[in-house]
């Protein structure tokens, strides 16, 4: 049986990492697309040669032609400008909205049955835009946010406790920005709730570092932003969908009444399988966490308002 095909729009560091993760795992053949002449083709050739060292028989192609997306089962959107030091995710909105809108129009034409995973920032607003422009069912459009933010929280927890990160299951909800909502009560270490292992002050410090996780990396890199973890997180979502794994992970999903929100995308726990976002899981939240989630939703809604005012959605 032929392998499914995954399209990756944007051949920068994040896109190339997604392509590498998907192809190396043998999940699918990969088509890498970028408007910069030669970039996607060159990286695809390099990646294809690297697979000869690892035993995967997945194919990788690259180019500027959106026709490479024809028939893809999933498409990951990473195209856009990255953050620079001192730049917030919301600063990216105007430029990246034009890029994501053009990409979504091509996905609608070329891969009408695809699941779409959005990585471009500001993540939740761009996910909403992709959903509106493609016209796809809400289940088939999701944003890669909570998977990454939860991985960052899990890493910081494991480092603080000096335990394996594989024993930590973290949960971070809300928008992919400064208002994200780490949930200590729903974060466990080998099944033990985090508040039983760390003080409230220690947890608060780890939560704050998680909120600033992307900016911290930007401050070190100076001229770029994180890409290994974002790429791996997007590839994990693709794997869950194509392999029908039905894993419960936090992702930016279209809400229609869940968590008392509707007509926006927000990071919430979802079950990812062959149907995309097969269901949204509503967790019991403390009053404080619910208020924080509402604040985060309001931030996303403000970005969506800007989209509408500028004619993108």
Residues annotated as part of the active site:
176
Per-residue burial over 47-73, b = 16 or more CB atoms within 10 Å of its CB, e = otherwise: bbeebeeeebebebbbbbebebbeebb
Cα gap 198→189, rounded to integer Å: 11
Residue partners of 65: CB distance under 8 A and separation at least 6: 33
Helix (H, G, I), strand (E, B) or coil at 245: coil
CA 91 to centroid of chain Cα atoms:
18
Secondary structure letter of residue 112 according to DSSP = T
Cite the beta strand spans of 81-148 per DSSP E. Answer: 115-118, 141-143
Cα gap 71→77, rounded to integer Å: 16
Helix (H, G, I), strand (E, B) or coil at 29: strand
């Amino acid at each position: 049986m032929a392998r499914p095909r995954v399209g990756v729009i944007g051949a920068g560091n994040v896109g190339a990492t997604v392509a590498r993760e998907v192809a190396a795992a043998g999940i699918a053949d990969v088509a890498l697309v970028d408007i910069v002449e030669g970039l996607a083709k060159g990286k695809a050739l390099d990646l294809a040669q690297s697979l000869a060292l690892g035993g995967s028989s997945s194919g990788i192609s690259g180019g500027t032609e959106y026709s490479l997306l024809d028939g893809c089962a999933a498409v990951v959107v990473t195209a856009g400008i990255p953050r620079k030091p001192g730049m917030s995710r919301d600063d990216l909105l105007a430029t990246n909205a034009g890029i994501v809108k053009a990409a979504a129009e091509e996905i609608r034409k070329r891969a009408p049955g695809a699941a779409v995973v959005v990585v471009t920032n500001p993540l939740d607003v761009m996910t909403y835009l992709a959903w509106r422009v493609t016209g796809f069912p809400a289940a088939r459009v999701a944003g890669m946010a909570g998977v990454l933010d939860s991985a960052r929280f899990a890493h910081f927890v494991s480092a603080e406790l000096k335990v394996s990160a594989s024993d930590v299951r973290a949960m971070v909800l809300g928008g992919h920005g400064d208002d994200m909502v780490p949930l200590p009560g729903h974060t466990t270490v080998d099944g033990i709730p985090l508040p039983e292992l760390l003080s409230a002050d220690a947890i608060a410090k780890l939560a704050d570092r998680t909120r600033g996780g992307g900016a911290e990396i930007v401050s070190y890199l100076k001229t770029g932003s994180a890409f290994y973890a974002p790429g791996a997180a997007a590839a994990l979502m693709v794997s869950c969908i194509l392999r029908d794994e039905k894993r419960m992970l936090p992702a930016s999903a279209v809400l229609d009444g869940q968590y008392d929100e509707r007509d926006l995308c927000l990071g919430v726990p979802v079950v990812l399988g062959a149907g995309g976002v097969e269901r949204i899981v509503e967790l019991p939240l403390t009053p404080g966490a619910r208020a924080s989630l509402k604040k985060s939703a309001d931030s996303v809604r403000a970005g969506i308002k800007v989209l509408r005012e500028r004619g993108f959605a």
